[in-house]
Amino acid sequence: MSVTLTKTSKNTPLLIHNSYSYTIDRKTVTKILWKCEYSRKYSCHGRLHTTSNYEFIKIVGEHENHVGNSRCAATRKYFEKLKQESEQNHTNPHNILTQVNIGVPDEVRVQLPTNYNLKRNVRRWRQVTTTEPTPTTIDFPAIPTKYHQTTRNTIFFRKDTGSAPAWQPQRVMMDFEKATINVFKRTLRTVELSGCYFHFSQSVLRFLQANGFKETYENDVVFADNIHKTLALAFIEPTIVANAFELLCTNLDDNYQQILDYIEDNYIERRRGRTRRQAPYPIDFWNMMERVKNNMHRTNNNIEGWHRKLNSAFQCSHPTLWSFLDKLMKEENNIHLYILNATTGRQPPVGKYESFNKRVRQLVDNPHPNIYDQLTCIGRLLSL
C-alpha cells in the first residue's frame, strides 16, 4: 500500500495514507511509528508503522473521532511545491502562483487560501531563507555561504578582492552606436574597433523600412538582389570599396538613389571635389575582408544570444545581487556540461552558415577580375 511523504508547516515529516495524515511518534532501529496528526486535538488512536525507508507495514488503531480528508495529500503537495518555488525562483509572487497553479484540480483550489494570503506566504518564506540583506552598493561586508561553491563544489564566489586588473584588449567588436564608439576611442586608444556585420545589415534594413522600401524589397527579387550588392561592399578590399561603390552608382538606376545616398553619407564618405568627407562609420570599421581571411568572427551574435538566454532566465529587468548569483550558478552548471561535451569529442551540430562561410571565403580568396561581378556574386549569398 502506497504512502505519500510531505512536510508540515514546521518542516517536519508528514505521512499521508488513505486520506489520513500522520506525524512521527517515535523511531526504532528498523521502523518508524507514526501517530495521527489529530492525536492530541481529537484524542485519536490511529497509528501507522513504516520501515525506516517509509515503506508501509501496517495500521494500528482506528480514527474514531474524525474522518479523513481526501484532498489533504494534494493540498499539502501544493504548499510544498509553492514553498519550493518561492525559495528557488526569485520572480515575483504573482508569476510563482501562476506557475504552481497549473494543473491543480478545482476540488483542491477551492480549499486553498486567497491569492493575497498565498502571496504573503511566498514573501514570508523568502524572508526566512534570505540570510543576508540585498546589498545597495558595491561595498558589502559578507557573501552568504551558499554562494561560495558551485553545485559541483568548486569555488564560485568566495570574496570581493577588489577591481580586476586593467584589460588590454587588441580588438573590440560593437554595434553601430556612435556614443559607444567615441567612449572606446577615448579610453582604449590602441584598440582596433570593428563593427558587427549583422548590425551593419540591420542598419540598412531599418533605413529601407523607414523610407518605404520594405515591401519592394520583400516582393521584387531584382531590387533585393541589388540591395544585397551594397552589403557585399563589406567583403571587398577596403582600398577599393569607394571605387566599387562608384560602380554600383553607375549600374543602378534612379530608383536606388536615396539608398545610395544613405550608404555614401554614412559608410563611404561623400565626395567633395577631389576629396571625400569622412563618414560617421569609416570603411575600416565595417569592412569584413580581414576577418574573413583570418577566420575571425564577423558578428557578435553569439554573445548577444548568450545574453538573451541569460536574460530570459531572470524574467525581470533588475534582479537583486543574490537572485543574479542564483541564476548564474545554475547557468555555470549548464556551461560545464557544454565544456564536458566538447572535451570528450562530441561535436556541436553543424550550423546552416557553415556552407555560407566556405563560399564567402572562396570568393574572397579568389575574387572575380571584375569588381561589379564580385559584388554580384557575394551579394547573392547575403540577405537582410
Q: Please indicate, yes or no, if residue 156 is contained in any of the structural domains.
A: no
**Does residue 122 share a domain with residue 77?**
yes
pLDDT string in tens for the chain (384-residue length) = 678 888 777 778 888 888 888 889 999 988 999 899 888 888 888 899 998 888 888 888 888 788 877 777 778 888 888 888 887 776 778 888 888 888 888 877 888 888 888 888 888 877 766 556 667 776 766 677 777 777 777 777 766 666 766 777 888 888 888 888 888 888 888 888 888 888 899 999 999 999 999 999 989 999 999 999 999 999 999 999 989 999 999 999 999 999 999 999 899 877 666 666 788 898 989 999 888 888 888 887 777 777 877 777 776 777 777 778 878 887 888 888 888 888 887 776 666 667 778 888 888 888 899 999 999 999 988 887
**Does residue 223 share a domain with residue 119?**
no
pLDDT of residue 141: 65
Q: Which residues, in sequence order, are CB contacts of 89 under 8 Å at separation 6+?
A: 95, 96, 99
- Grid coordinates belonging to 295: 577566420
Separation between Cα atoms, residue 181 and residue 194, nearest integer Å:
9
Separation between Cα atoms, residue 79 and residue 104, nearest integer Å:
11
pLDDT of residue 351: 61
Q: Please indicate, yes or no, if residue 31 is contained in any of the structural domains.
A: yes
**Does residue 281 share a domain with residue 212?**
yes
Question: 111: closest CA among 56, 150, 74, 152?
Answer: 74
C-beta pairs of 144-151 under 8 Å, 24+ apart in sequence: 144/322, 147/322, 147/325, 147/329, 150/329, 150/332, 150/333, 150/336, 151/329, 151/330, 151/332, 151/333
pLDDT of residue 158: 64
The label of the residue with cell 554595434 reads 175
Question: 371: closest CA among 261, 243, 270, 239?
Answer: 243
**Does residue 199 share a domain with residue 85?**
no
Identity of the amino acid at 43:
S
**Does residue 252 share a domain with residue 124?**
no
**Does residue 90 share a domain with residue 46?**
no
User: Which domain range does residue 113 map to?
Assistant: 72-129
**Does residue 374 share a domain with residue 244?**
yes
What's the domain count of the chain? 3
CA dist 372 → 4, 20, 246, 376 (Å): 75, 84, 10, 6
For residue 15, give the CATH number of its domain. 2.20.25.240
Q: Please indicate, yes or no, if residue 220 is contained in any of the structural domains.
A: yes
pLDDT of residue 350: 60
Q: Please indicate, yes or no, if residue 20 is contained in any of the structural domains.
A: yes
**Does residue 84 share a domain with residue 192?**
no
**Does residue 183 share a domain with residue 77?**
no
pTM above 0.75, yes or no: no
**Does residue 54 share a domain with residue 106?**
no
Q: Please indicate, yes or no, if residue 137 is contained in any of the structural domains.
A: no
pLDDT of residue 278: 80
Q: Please indicate, yes or no, if residue 344 is contained in any of the structural domains.
A: no
* Residue 298 DSSP one-character state: S
Q: Please indicate, yes or no, if residue 314 is contained in any of the structural domains.
A: no
**Does residue 55 share a domain with residue 85?**
no
If phi over 0 gives left and psi between -120 and 50 gives alpha, with beta otherwise, what is residue 120? alpha
pLDDT of residue 112: 83
Sheet holding 13-17, edge to edge: 4-7, 13-17, 20-27, 31-36, 47-51, 56-60
- How close are the terminal C-alpha atoms of the chain, in Å? 64
Q: Which of helix, strand or coil describes residue 251?
A: helix
pLDDT of residue 348: 65
Q: Please indicate, yes or no, if residue 301 is contained in any of the structural domains.
A: no
**Does residue 209 share a domain with residue 83?**
no
pLDDT of residue 211: 93
Pick the last residue of a domain from 38, 60, 82: 60
pLDDT of residue 339: 83
